[in-house]
Amino acid sequence: RRLFSFPLFDELNDDLQLFVEQQAANSSGDRLLSAQLPANVLPATQVGFDATYQPDIHICRVQHFPAMARCSIDCIERRLRICFEMMGLFIGSHPWWFLITPLILSAGLGSGFYFLKDRMSNNIEDQFTPVDGKAKMERKYIEETFPGNDSVFSRLRLSTSGSYATLIATSDRNILTAEPLKDILDLDFKVKAMAVQLGNQSFDYSDICAEVMGVCTSNAILDIIKYDAKNMDNVSLTFPWYHSDFQSLPLHLSLGSVKLNPESSVVESAKAIQLHYYLREDDKAKTDLWLENFINVVSNDSSASIQVSYCTSMSMQWEFEKSPASVIYLFSITYAIAITFSIISCWRSDNVRTKVWVAFCGVLSTGLAVLSSFGALLLLGQPFVMTVASCPFMILGIGLDDMFIMISCWQRTRVLDTVPDRLAGTYKEAAVSITITSLTDALALLLGYSSPFGSVRSFCLYAAMSVCFCYLFNITFLGACMALNGQREAGNKHWFTCAKIPEDVPSRTSKAFSICCVGGSYNRITEKEETEPVSHIFERFYGPFLTHKLIKASVFVIYMGYLAVGIYGCLMLKEGLDIRNLALDGSYIIGYYNNQRQHFSEYSYSVMVAVKQTFPYWDEDEQKLLHSCISNFESLNYVNSTLAWFLSFQRYANATGINISSQEAFRTHLPRFLELNSMFRQDVNFTADNHIQASRFFIQTLNRTTGEDMMVGLRKAAAECPLELLVYHPAFIYFDQYTVILDTTIQTVLLAVTVMLAVSLVLISNPLCSVWVAFAICSVIVGVTGFMALWGINLDSISMINLVMCIGFSVDFSAHMTYSFVSSPKSDVNQKATDALAHLGCPILQGAFSTILGVVVLSMSGSYIFRTFFKIVFLVITFGLLHGLVFIPVFLTLFKASGTWC
């Protein structure tokens, strides 16, 4: 039976009847035949005809139907299939060109890896905080308005974290006893006396320390006991502030897990002491070298009475930069696993029909794609962030998924056709499907490039480029490999020796010969390769089982349960990146952060509050306004106290009996006060004519809420004040991610779903099925987001990368299945679902397993970033597979997606 569709005149003439009969008479077999009409029958008005020829009775029946009554919405898809069919025909005829050219291109672009070291950009602040975060603007104002004074160092007034080393000494008993204090003093002496060699120059702590009036900054607790453990018995410590004759010292910065006398603020015991060593920032080479030596000295020091944890201002950055090296060895393991799985999946017992070399080339194609894309972007000067190191694992899964689809389509072509014809048929069936998934993957990633996080931008750009090259190499390099493998099959040659072998087992041959040296069989009825056993399972068992009415109802109930758990998890989702997660497991800084949280968690940040306008501080009525604003801050349950130069000036005036209630008196006595209290001089910004144009004060916060809530609450209190105020702390740079991560993720996901819907509407000929693809994306994202929250993963810039990637991955399985469902020639929806499962169930399953195997080794990584990548990819593939093989086929049948449109 042969089917012809022609655009004709309204009246069927004799020439057409004769033409159809001639076409039928000259054809043989069951192949679909397409033909062009003679020039004399071109239509003035288009009309459609279905022509059927039955060779046994030599009758040609032509069924007429109006073309305009059957509104065609698959014009783009149809033309795309024709283009790919022609491409397959050309590549199949000239395979060597398309095999060698990608290799040369990859070698050329791969030269960009020469610049990898120069392109590395792993600054934590740049990559994991919002590019245009509000706190960065606030910091810029603080630095311009209140520049630091190198001769009068103040930790409180730093606009950044500064350059420092710190250690926490802990003890199971009271650390304020002679033995632990002696060990702490010995360690302090070793640190300060440590000689560091830089070239021919030797220096120690005193040469690079931050100074106050020419003296290195010191630690309050050691100053109080005058660097002698025996003096501890003669000192009565008060907490949180220790008041001496000349100054008040913030003891809460030095003592942790303090036990106070029930009737006073006198310290009875403590379990931790923290020491800080601040350095000047004018010579980074020296400070970095000193910090490295500090780590070596402290890490090698041991004591029976204290346990020491330590950290430096550069420790997190250095530990973060070790993460890529921790997964380099995993690349080789991953690709070995991928090659092994691909070969096993493509292995056939038939020595001719086996696809071993195609499987190997499929893995090689993804490797070339990564090499080319990374190299091209490195040549273009794009920064390379550590998060990009997870791209190859993702691309491996995408590439192998496409490879399995192409192999499946190749096996459905006629064995007796020429290689170019078989490849043309393969491209005609597979290319549109893999075009949809590759296009949606790339677009989803490019949309993620709009993120305010540098790490997300870099990942999305590298990953999108990798997807594009993966697609390019799959339709060129991999297609050429399939063509060459097809030529071997056409010659009935052995897959390994390439020697021609018999198709049938010769008589009187050994069993080993029949296993190793025979091949080339195929189905003589369909003239196609034998179907894989897994495809038989999908067609004969799983498809009918899934489309049973009772099973459909059960699937719907299961889906509602899945959705409910996913939504519950979304409501439990926490936001923000814990900076500690950037360090490798087992890093020394983990112990430091744990001790800091355990022993020094009561007091939080000392936050700057800048008054950004001129203000009459001498006016009592105006002072009430300022005091009202301070009261609003102090009314917050996480604000402990306020430190302000104007409050201290008022106390100074009261103590000395001077009157500062007039502008003239205020301006007259203020310089003397600032001379006596040099630290406060940094809190006042004077104009050229000695007017105060801006000033700042500080509020001490308690650890009673999250950093995000504290920052938002303080900003809200500042906004409610009639004065123009600004609140800032260096930690706000990182807290800003909390304010944008959720909105940014939602916007990106919604935009991506819209774009995915548009793409599928253009490339899939059934609009309702396109809607189902968009539905699958949303459904998978809800599930992944909810379950990742239940798995202990926060919504941060790391997981956002994976959610953006999730959008692309979630399209793959649903798009493949939906497209196959629409393309099925079956009329009944259950049969269409079964047919789609039979055709694509096996390659989808193979693609899912290959992707999981590609990332499973990351679960062994010591890096939170790569473990998170594994967890989310695992969830994406699991839920994507569940939708592609269970939910979508059932929903398509329930809602009759095969209905005719127009």
* pLDDT tens digits along 83-114: 999 999 999 999 999 999 999 999 999 999 99
SS3 call for 885: helix
Residue type, 561: G
| Segment 385-390 mean pLDDT | 84
Nearby residues of 435 by Cβ (< 8 Å), 6 or more positions away? 80, 84, 471, 763
DSSP 757-785: HHHHHHHSS-HHHHHHHHHHHHHHHHHHH
pLDDT computed for residue 487 by the predictor: 94
Q: Is the pLDDT of residue 2 over 60?
A: no
pLDDT, tens only, 621-665: 888 899 999 999 999 999 998 999 999 999 999 988 898 888 899
Q: Is the pLDDT of residue 194 over 80?
A: yes
| Segment 693-712 mean pLDDT | 92
Confidence of residue 609 (pLDDT cuts 50, 70, 90): very high
Structure-block tokens of residue 124: 């934590």
CA 543 vs CA 411, 824, 841, 894: distances in Å: 20, 14, 10, 14
| Segment 429-457 mean pLDDT | 85
| Matching fold, domains 74-118+323-501 and 535-571+764-896 | yes
Q: At 686, give phi and psi (nearest 5°).
A: -100, 150
Measured in residues, the chain has a length of: 902
pLDDT computed for residue 245 by the predictor: 66
CA 649 vs CA 472, 615, 660: distances in Å: 72, 15, 9
pLDDT computed for residue 63 by the predictor: 40
Pair 881, 845: CB distance under 8 Å: yes
| Interhelix angle 391-411/479-490, nearest 10 degrees | 40
pLDDT, tens only, 201-210: 899 999 999 9
pLDDT, tens only, 256-280: 999 998 888 899 999 999 999 999 9
pLDDT computed for residue 497 by the predictor: 86
SS3 call for 104: helix
Query: Higher-confidence residue: 748 or 666?
Result: 666
Q: Is the pLDDT of residue 183 over 90?
A: yes
| Segment 688-703 mean pLDDT | 91
pLDDT, tens only, 458-484: 989 999 999 999 999 999 999 999 999
The C-alpha atoms of residue 89 and residue 425 are separated, in whole angstroms, by 8
Structure-block tokens of residue 460: 């999305």
Lowest-pLDDT choice from 243-247, 647-651, 667-671: 243-247
Structure-block tokens of residue 642: 């306020």
Pair 868, 798: CB distance under 8 Å: yes
SS3 call for 95: helix
Q: Is the pLDDT of residue 902 over 80?
A: no
Lowest-pLDDT choice from 186-195, 614-623, 893-902: 893-902
pLDDT computed for residue 257 by the predictor: 92
The C-alpha atoms of residue 145 and residue 684 are separated, in whole angstroms, by 9
pLDDT computed for residue 685 by the predictor: 93
pLDDT, tens only, 549-591: 999 999 999 999 999 999 999 999 888 777 778 888 888 999 9
Lowest-pLDDT choice from 72-81, 195-204, 656-665, 719-728: 72-81
Q: Is the pLDDT of residue 49 over 70?
A: no
Confidence of residue 72 (pLDDT cuts 50, 70, 90): very low
Indicate the domain borders of the chain: 74-118+323-501, 163-312, 535-571+764-896, 593-736
> Between β-strands 241-243 and 48-54, what pairing exists: parallel, antiparallel or unpaired?
unpaired
SS3 call for 414: strand
Pair 824, 818: CB distance under 8 Å: no
Give, as one character, the DSSP assignment of residue 195: -
Instruction: Give, rounded to a whole angstrom, the gap between the first and last alpha carbons of the chain.
Output: 28
The C-alpha atoms of residue 745 and residue 577 are separated, in whole angstroms, by 14
H/E element, 604: strand 603-611
pLDDT computed for residue 449 by the predictor: 87
Note the helical H segments in 695-791.
707-720, 732-763, 767-790
H/E element, 185: helix 178-193
Per residue, what are the HEC states of 465-529?
HHHHHHHHHHHHHHHHHHHHHHHHHHCCECCCCCCECCCCCCCCCCHHHHHHCCCCCCECCCCEC
The C-alpha atoms of residue 454 and residue 383 are separated, in whole angstroms, by 9
Q: Is the pLDDT of residue 44 over 70?
A: no
pLDDT computed for residue 814 by the predictor: 78
H/E element, 259: strand 259-260
pLDDT computed for residue 811 by the predictor: 72
SS3 call for 381: coil
| Segment 610-623 mean pLDDT | 90
Give per-residue burial for 202-214: e unless 16+ CB within 10 Å, then b.
Answer: ebebeebbbebee
Structure-block tokens of residue 639: 């604000």
Nearby residues of 203 by Cβ (< 8 Å), 6 or more positions away? 195, 196, 286, 290
Whole-prediction pTM value?
0.80
pLDDT, tens only, 388-442: 888 887 888 788 888 888 998 898 899 999 999 999 999 998 877 788 788 888 8
pLDDT computed for residue 246 by the predictor: 63
Q: Is the pLDDT of residue 62 over 50?
A: no
Query: Higher-confidence residue: 883 or 45?
Result: 883
| Segment 752-766 mean pLDDT | 76
pLDDT computed for residue 681 by the predictor: 92
Structure-block tokens of residue 562: 């899945």
The C-alpha atoms of residue 841 and residue 832 are separated, in whole angstroms, by 13
* Residues 364, 368, 371: CA angle, nearest 5 degrees: 140
Question: How many CB atoms are located within 10 Å of the residue 62 CB?
Answer: 16
pLDDT computed for residue 506 by the predictor: 67
Nearby residues of 728 by Cβ (< 8 Å), 6 or more positions away? 135, 138, 139, 141, 142, 159, 607, 608, 610
H/E element, 408: helix 391-411
Pair 19, 41: CB distance under 8 Å: yes
Name the nearest CA neighbour of 196 among 109, 310, 277.
277
The C-alpha atoms of residue 776 and residue 816 are separated, in whole angstroms, by 12
DSSP 831-847: HHHHHHHHHHHHHHHHH
Q: In this structure, which topology does domain 74-118+323-501 adopt according to CATH?
A: Multidrug efflux transporter AcrB transmembrane fold (1.20.1640)
Nearby residues of 796 by Cβ (< 8 Å), 6 or more positions away? 128, 575, 576, 577, 737, 741
pLDDT computed for residue 193 by the predictor: 93
pLDDT computed for residue 61 by the predictor: 38
What does the mean pLDDT of the chain come to?
Answer: 84
pLDDT computed for residue 512 by the predictor: 67
Query: Higher-confidence residue: 254 or 818?
Result: 254
pLDDT computed for residue 683 by the predictor: 94
CATH superfamily of 535-571+764-896: Multidrug efflux transporter AcrB transmembrane domain (1.20.1640.10)
Pair 362, 434: CB distance under 8 Å: no
pLDDT computed for residue 606 by the predictor: 93
Nearby residues of 197 by Cβ (< 8 Å), 6 or more positions away? none
